[in-house]
């Protein structure tokens, strides 16, 4: 089977993408420093431990497996942390990616699928957000991703290095069979925190900001199932291998849910109430982020198959039955 290097493939979205790649006839080669990923998640192909900032290690792995293309997830991703240590985000996300791209070019690889983010849009001027919306990120995390997007555009324009940039919104959910799921330490994402609260592992859920200009004062987010994101990455690889051109695409459900609405849905789906407290806004958060995903459907034939209830059911199954404690 043809090999695809998956940088950050032992992480949450990366591991689900490896599962999808394997199911569709590829061998995912996981390259991960395991700072946030888990060796146990490398179930569908070999695991090579290494950092994207380590050029020698990258060269070694690329020579060994000769992948047809790269999927790049390896990044620091927490908005709040990025405002506390911006330098690390630029070192890891930008300098590390440049190192990965140079290694790829030296190995004769000219195709990459890049994990980007809706955070590159900043505070939207219109909802839903399409790919033509201006990109003005309001935190170092979003800026680090936008810089990489600009680098990829230049590589395409001047060197024919093709890329599919995937800007996803809020990834959530888990493999229904419980083999992999969302496993962060510490956990900072809304759905896992709500589920942990419902399971009694946290005393309460704190809503970060209740004075936004939204229908109930809490942030609006677009939750998309991780399996749908994984399928998009495999479709993007097929697009590049079939000589498709470079593009940047939104991946979201197209539906906005406020944090308060999300909590009510979690309580309904799992059948448990839990304490909710109101807190101050978190620095770097946008009031509302909702995707227009029509371009992804046209370019990749992709559209999300899972709704919010399916997301919560699979996440609850993972957290209550399979997540290592």
Residues labelled catalytic: 141
Are the C-beta atoms of 174 and 320 separated by less than 8 Å? no
- CA separation (Å) from 251 to 76, 226, 271, 286? 19, 10, 30, 17
**Strand pairing of 220-221 and 257-258?**
antiparallel
Number of alpha carbons in the 13 Å side-chain half-sphere of residue 174: 24
Buried b (16+ CB within 10 A) or exposed e, 168-201: bbbbbbbbeeebbbbbeeebebbbbbbbbbbeee
CA 9 to CA 193: how far, in whole Å?
23
Number of alpha carbons in the 13 Å side-chain half-sphere of residue 95: 11
With CA atoms as reference, report the closest residue to 282 among 218, 201, 214, 204: 218
Helix (H, G, I), strand (E, B) or coil at 297: helix
CA 75 to CA 319: how far, in whole Å?
24
With CA atoms as reference, report the closest residue to 324 among 95, 127, 59, 38: 38
């Amino acid at each position: 089977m043809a090999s695809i290097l998956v940088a950050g493939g032992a992480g949450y979205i990366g591991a689900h993408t490896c599962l999808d790649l394997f199911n569709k006839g590829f061998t995912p080669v996981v390259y991960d420093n395991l700072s946030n990923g888990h060796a146990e998640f490398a179930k569908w192909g070999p695991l090579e431990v290494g950092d994207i900032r380590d050029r020698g290690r990258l060269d070694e792995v690329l020579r060994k497996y000769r992948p047809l293309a790269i999927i790049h997830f390896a990044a620091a991703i927490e908005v709040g942390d990025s405002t506390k240590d911006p330098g690390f985000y630029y070192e890891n996300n930008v300098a590390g990616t440049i190192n990965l791209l140079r290694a790829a070019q030296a190995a004769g690889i000219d195709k990459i699928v890049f994990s980007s983010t809706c955070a590159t849009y900043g505070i939207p001027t219109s909802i839903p957000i399409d790919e033509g919306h201006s990109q003005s990120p309001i935190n170092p995390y979003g800026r680090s991703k936008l810089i990489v997007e600009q680098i990829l555009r230049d590589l395409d324009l001047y060197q024919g290095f093709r890329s599919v940039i995937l800007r996803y919104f809020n990834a959530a959910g888990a493999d229904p069979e419980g083999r992999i799921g969302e496993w962060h330490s510490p956990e900072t994402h809304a759905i896992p925190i709500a589920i942990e609260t419902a399971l009694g592992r946290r005393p309460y859920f704190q809503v970060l900001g209740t004075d936004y200009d939204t229908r109930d004062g809490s942030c609006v987010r677009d939750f998309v199932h991780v399996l749908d994101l994984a399928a998009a990455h495999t479709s993007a690889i097929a697009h590049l291998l079939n000589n498709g051109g470079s593009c940047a695409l939104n991946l979201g459900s197209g539906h906005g849910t406020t944090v308060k609405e999300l909590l009510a849905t979690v309580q309904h789906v799992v059948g448990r109430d839990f304490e909710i407290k109101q807190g101050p806004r978190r620095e770097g958060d946008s009031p509302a982020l909702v995707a227009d995903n029509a371009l992804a459907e046209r370019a990749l034939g992709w559209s999300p198959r899972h709704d919010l209830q399916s997301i919560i059911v699979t996440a609850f199954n993972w957290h209550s039955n399979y997540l290592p404690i």
